[in-house]
Structure 1
């Protein structure tokens, strides 16, 4: 198969949502419909003894939430589908933001009871920055949710994107009868089923086909016809180019936990969603069809297998063909590396692969040479545009509780910071170590993983810091003078960049006014 044919076969997308909207459950059910698994697990369930494939860390299983991005691939209708299931919890938003740089489109899950929530709006803003194509899946139809038209209005208003319903619910909650699939002109009758595929589809010749009346009560048929007529009158026909430009979102309705409405979503997705696209480096735009391999690291995970202290870097292939065992140029370090171990993922289950193509996510075993944002090529020196770190919201000082385990703690902090779970700032004076995160739950995750994966006991103590600002100046002498003047408040990040640790908003504003030649940055890429 040619490179062009391999590229056309691939669809790489992320699943994003506010916490508890059913995102991880939807991921599981897409795997089920894609034939990648035979029985779906459940994120929270006492009756089903199987956990979901995408939540595999101990703390994820305990809490029923995703705290790390999972990568899964499967084949469906001669296409290679790559899913990146992201954390929904806002405390882990930065992992989600980075993951969105590695996908070509997204499916956004919205709870039909709660509608558009705060985290959904933030994630949509990130999609809009890159014009990422979005498909909406309105989930939990088996519950008494809000009116479908009200939900569509809210999506347009709060997320700033036009919508086009591609399926329509027949009832909701206890009165749920099915979904009318406007994209394929068929009727999917509802039957609760949490573990097997639902395939009870009635083929019809449009909304006025008398066949519908054989399967639904008269009142439900009348309401359905009236609502579909209204939908077609209010919403324009789907413009595929507008969808691919991120201007309009196709919308589907269903119940992920009951495997309902999933097939419609998946079949439409593979038709509409873009194959791997061109990507910008600092030097030029690189087309996926170019013969030479390029790719970038968007995620690093230590200890995916607790029995082996390994470290895996997730690389998105952007162009050419990746070949296991080949030497590739590491742009930041300006030298070649050979990757003899390359894996593909089904959550934590890995298999060795010999080659990969644009759109594929490859796991590379690493001993500390790779960092988030690194570019690998066949010799070209352009870096893919950076994956920034954002200034954290919360700060705590690390206190070692076992002096005999100092090396383990240092190694654990070093590796976990490489994952981007949090950021480490080391003060110039006294070598105090402060961890910054975007949410309180990350400290709990860090403490849990340091103890269970590195046998290091640490405490995180509150510290009086308002904001960490990366600093720079056109005049190096003035920067040196500022560092000397504010020595007690200067730290370095993991990359050795200078950071000013401000104790309050008012004080930061005063320092900025007093030192106009110093630039204060809230994002590490500047």
Structure 2
């Protein structure tokens, strides 16, 4: 086959491969156990032999999904990660595309990009803390994008709240009715196993050393469960019957329409309940479906190949300064070496260096199907939101930039690193690590970083020094509000006290104000000047 020859694949083949795919993200508030759950899922699928780190646990290795040095040092996820692995349930062979996301609010923009590329989300809730602010924001994004949610109440091995109370909170605060598929046997802090509400049986767990290997489980009949767990089992049965009487049983139609959320109880650190989550994902999570293009038309799965880039990441391999673009396959089939069209420029894009990504690890990828995430190396021309297609043109909706609330002037601290400084700033901007703003007044040597949260500045500063050998110093600016301003009004706004107009690298002009009250005062005094809002973190 030549590079320019189109790949012809029958529609039934494309549809069959798409049905095997389950592409989902794990979302949560920080410290809910998201990276630990991600690692446990991969462990139960036999993609790794031993689970990674839980920070504070001596002797355990770093998680596959948290590979950056800052992630290992701080114990939080800073960047999203893609992992693909096979998983079989009975005679059903599936391909899991798992996307781990940052939980910290400062990295909401990265999480939002990931949520444009999935068909389902697993919402992780701490058994002791319940719904937390970042969980609520991410849920709103899922609701807006019509992403079905499976809820997991984690850390049931530790003291926590009453399970019925947690269900009531979910219903009341986010309007999503939980429909438990499993129910805990034993109060929070004394986790013996779960009642499988679909079969009525008891799934009893056994601890393993440090939770580093898959926890053995036994399936017991109700009679045997009563003998084993006594009052804990009886209480679980009674509460399950209350749920049934209340109409809180799983219903596929209301799940897919984002009205209800199947719910499970786990202890990811002990690997309790993780196997059930994998099985549930295979059984009920929706497979890929046709994506809507920028005009609102559906691109059916059997159409010629198309994909959109949702993330660009550099620094994954210190030995190679390449850049990986993560692209979600939306239609057709992908074959390594295909010559695609970059919709933004109309230029060809050669896929000779396509890769399958598993955390930081990479391997050559020969083919991919709808729902898969492909890594495209040497992707200097690609940015988040870009569309790639073959044969039949299509453009998918762009990914909006969030409204920044923190701003800092950037200056190189080593004059001899001028070239590396400019290259590094450009790279961080293209990856979306921060937004980069400039003006004639400040010049190229003093660009402005704009961020949703201050930790983005720490990541940018660390990467400029560690990866790009161009150390920087940041000077905070006294702004906290940004609005889009039209070019004809920019000069007038720029003359106002406590305001400044800067240009983002995509050409959008942003008016920065010191406070929202200063903005409101300006708008009241100048009603003819049009200032438009950007997307705020957690907005619909």
In the alignment, structure 1 residue 445 sits paired with structure 2 residue 462: no
User: What corresponds to 1:384 in structure 2?
Assistant: 396
| 2:139 aligns with one of 121, 124, 128 | 124
User: What corresponds to 2:177 in structure 1?
Assistant: 162
1:486-501 pair list within 5 angstroms: 489-501=500-512
* Whole-angstrom CA distance in 2 between matches of 1:252 and 1:49: 26
RMSD, matched Cα = 2.0
Residues 320-363 of structure 1: CA deviation (Å, up to 9, x unaligned):
11121111111111222211111111101111111111100001
User: What corresponds to 1:255 in structure 2?
Assistant: 267
User: What corresponds to 1:197 in structure 2?
Assistant: 214
In the alignment, structure 1 residue 454 sits paired with structure 2 residue 468: yes
- What TM-score, normalized by structure 1, do the two folds share? 0.94
In the alignment, structure 1 residue 469 sits paired with structure 2 residue 483: yes
Q: How far has the Cα of 1:281 moved from its partner? A: 0.9
User: What corresponds to 1:44 in structure 2?
Assistant: 55
Kept in 1: contact 2:437–2:450 (CA 8 A): yes
Residues 25-49 of structure 1: CA deviation (Å, up to 9, x unaligned):
0000000111111111123144233
User: What corresponds to 1:224 in structure 2?
Assistant: 236
| Mean CA deviation greater in 481-490 or 254-263 | 481-490
Residues 85-107 of structure 1: CA deviation (Å, up to 9, x unaligned):
00001111110011100000000
User: What corresponds to 1:242 in structure 2?
Assistant: 254
What SS is found at the alignment partner of 1:149?
A: helix
| Mean CA deviation greater in 261-270 or 182-191 | 182-191
In the alignment, structure 1 residue 349 sits paired with structure 2 residue 361: yes
What SS is found at the alignment partner of 1:489?
A: strand
Residues 157-176 of structure 1: CA deviation (Å, up to 9, x unaligned):
12221110110111134432
| Mean CA deviation greater in 171-180 or 262-271 | 171-180
* Whole-angstrom CA distance in 1 between matches of 2:277 and 2:179: 13
Q: Structure 1 residues 485 and 442, CA, compared in 2 at 3 Å: closer, same or farther?
A: closer
User: What corresponds to 1:35 in structure 2?
Assistant: 46
Q: Structure 1: where are the runs of 5+ without partners?
A: none
* Whole-angstrom CA distance in 2 between matches of 1:176 and 1:317: 40
Kept in 1: contact 2:156–2:265 (CA 8 A): yes
User: What corresponds to 1:213 in structure 2?
Assistant: 226
| 1:436 aligns with one of 443, 450, 457 | 450
* Whole-angstrom CA distance in 1 between matches of 2:367 and 2:508: 36
* Whole-angstrom CA distance in 1 between matches of 2:200 and 2:94: 23
Residues 420-464 of structure 1: CA deviation (Å, up to 9, x unaligned):
121111123232411111112121111111110011111111111
User: What corresponds to 1:414 in structure 2?
Assistant: 426
Q: Structure 1 residues 308 and 371, CA, compared in 2 at 3 Å: closer, same or farther?
A: same
Q: How far has the Cα of 1:516 moved from its partner? A: 4.0
Q: Structure 2: where are the runs of 5+ without partners?
A: 1-11
Kept in 2: contact 1:395–1:435 (CA 8 A): yes
Kept in 2: contact 1:291–1:321 (CA 8 A): no
What SS is found at the alignment partner of 2:109?
A: helix
| Mean CA deviation greater in 484-493 or 65-74 | 484-493
* Whole-angstrom CA distance in 1 between matches of 2:87 and 2:475: 49
1:25-424 pair list within 5 angstroms: 25-77=36-88, 78-193=93-208, 194-204=211-221, 209-217=222-230, 219-424=231-436
Q: Structure 1 residues 517 and 328, CA, compared in 2 at 3 Å: closer, same or farther?
A: farther
Q: How far has the Cα of 1:220 moved from its partner? A: 2.1
User: What corresponds to 1:504 in structure 2?
Assistant: 515
* Whole-angstrom CA distance in 2 between matches of 1:512 and 1:382: 39
* Whole-angstrom CA distance in 2 between matches of 1:481 and 1:50: 55
Q: Structure 1 residues 238 and 458, CA, compared in 2 at 3 Å: closer, same or farther?
A: same
The count of aligned residue pairs is: 516
Kept in 1: contact 2:206–2:216 (CA 8 A): no
* Whole-angstrom CA distance in 2 between matches of 1:110 and 1:8: 29
* Whole-angstrom CA distance in 2 between matches of 1:427 and 1:151: 50
| Mean CA deviation greater in 123-132 or 44-53 | 44-53
Kept in 2: contact 1:183–1:268 (CA 8 A): no
- What TM-score, normalized by structure 2, do the two folds share? 0.91
What SS is found at the alignment partner of 2:62?
A: coil
* Whole-angstrom CA distance in 1 between matches of 2:201 and 2:153: 19
Kept in 2: contact 1:344–1:352 (CA 8 A): yes
Q: Structure 1 residues 481 and 404, CA, compared in 2 at 3 Å: closer, same or farther?
A: closer
What SS is found at the alignment partner of 2:517?
A: helix
* Whole-angstrom CA distance in 1 between matches of 2:56 and 2:106: 24
| Mean CA deviation greater in 73-82 or 184-193 | 184-193
